[in-house]
Structure 1
Amino acid sequence: MAINTENTGHHLAGTVLAFDYGEKRIGVAVGNLELGLAHPLATIRNANTTECFANTAQLIEEWKPAMLVVGLPAHADGTEHEMSRRSRRFARRLEGRFGIKTELVDERYTSVDASAALRETGITGKKQKPVLDQMAAQLILQTFFDRRNATT
């Protein structure tokens, strides 16, 4: 399922969309492979599969990504849990439905880090809700870029 850019020797170019999968909301971030910078983009409601994938399709049509990244949650010790399975399934469905290579990235602590970053800017409590998932997706994508750049 995943494209291993570290060992192929191929230089990928273009846009990357990253997803922070959640049962109620999915945060989305966008970035460019050459620049290696991630930016928060959108929050998709995850009320039902049809609506979720219709909204995802709109983003994919607009941004035409070269690849997708999905955060893979895990316990602090690295063991997977129920949301890990759901995130893997979401990643498989993205790749199958849109035919775009999809890579999983460890997302431990991204929501905590995103919340802390928002608090530093004065955004606290319920005011974080609209952007927290986008910020977590941004951190997931930036982690992907940083790891990729460290090996090239």
Structure 2
Amino acid sequence: MEEIVLGFDFGVKNIGLAVGNRLTNTAQPIAILKANEGQPDWDEMERHIKEWTPTLLVVGMPYTADGTETEHMRKIRKFMNRLHGRFGLPVEEVDERLSSKESEQYIKPSKKGKKGQLDAHSAAIIVERYLNDDLIFSL
């Protein structure tokens, strides 16, 4: 059976969403979810989960070089706990360092100033890192 993975690049204003699968080990950006202080429209989130029927959710975690726990990391973990609580799916964190910088190469020059565009592409990079077993940390 094909393993479908939904990935998230969490932000307090935008949450990038991407889908990938274990068959091809590739991912594609699918949406930019608006968030209010990190809270997405949970009904919209549920629609995406029902549409894609993932077996796993992955969320990017911006680890620091010195291992310091940041406030943003605490918000991401809270988001991860809510995802798991609402949808009952396993949630894993993936090291997302430099994913935003890497995603810039996929954005047209006319769209580079639009932060939301990067979020969905960053989510795709996060999913591909998971699918390629690169820098994965389980809860």
TM-score by length of 2: 0.85
Match of 2:137 in 1: none
Match of 1:63 in 2: 52
Structure 2 CA distance for aligned equivalents of residues 109 and 14 of structure 1: 26
Q: Which has the larger radius of gyration?
A: 1
The structure carrying a bigger helix percent of its residues is 1
Match of 1:81 in 2: 70
Spell out the pairing of 1:46-125 with structure 2 (5 A cutoff): 46-47=35-36, 52-115=41-104, 117-118=105-106, 121-125=108-112
Secondary structure of 2:36's aligned partner:
coil
Match of 1:133 in 2: 119
Equivalenced residues, count = 134
8 Å contact from structure 2 (residues 12, 37) kept in 1: no
Deviation at 1:58, TM superposition (A): 0.8
| Equivalent position to 1:22, from 8, 11, 23 | 11
Q: Identity, % of aligned pairs?
A: 37
Structure 2 CA distance for aligned equivalents of residues 31 and 107 of structure 1: 16
Deviation at 1:130, TM superposition (A): 3.8
Structure 2: give runs of 5+ residues left out of the alignment. Answer: 135-139
1:40-74 Cα offsets, whole Å, 9 max, x none, are 11000002677521111110011111110011112
Alignment of 1:42 with 2:28, yes or no, is no
The structure carrying a bigger strand percent of its residues is 2
8 Å contact from structure 1 (residues 76, 108) kept in 2: no
Aligned alpha-carbon RMSD (Å): 2.1
8 Å contact from structure 1 (residues 27, 133) kept in 2: yes
Match of 2:21 in 1: 32
Structure 2 CA distance for aligned equivalents of residues 122 and 49 of structure 1: 28
TM-score by length of 1: 0.78
Secondary structure of 1:46's aligned partner:
strand
8 Å contact from structure 1 (residues 31, 39) kept in 2: yes
> Which residue identity lines up with residue 109 of structure 2 in the other structure?
G
Over 3 Å counting, the alpha-carbon distance change for 1:49 and 1:55 in structure 2 is farther
Over 3 Å counting, the alpha-carbon distance change for 1:51 and 1:114 in structure 2 is closer
8 Å contact from structure 1 (residues 68, 101) kept in 2: yes
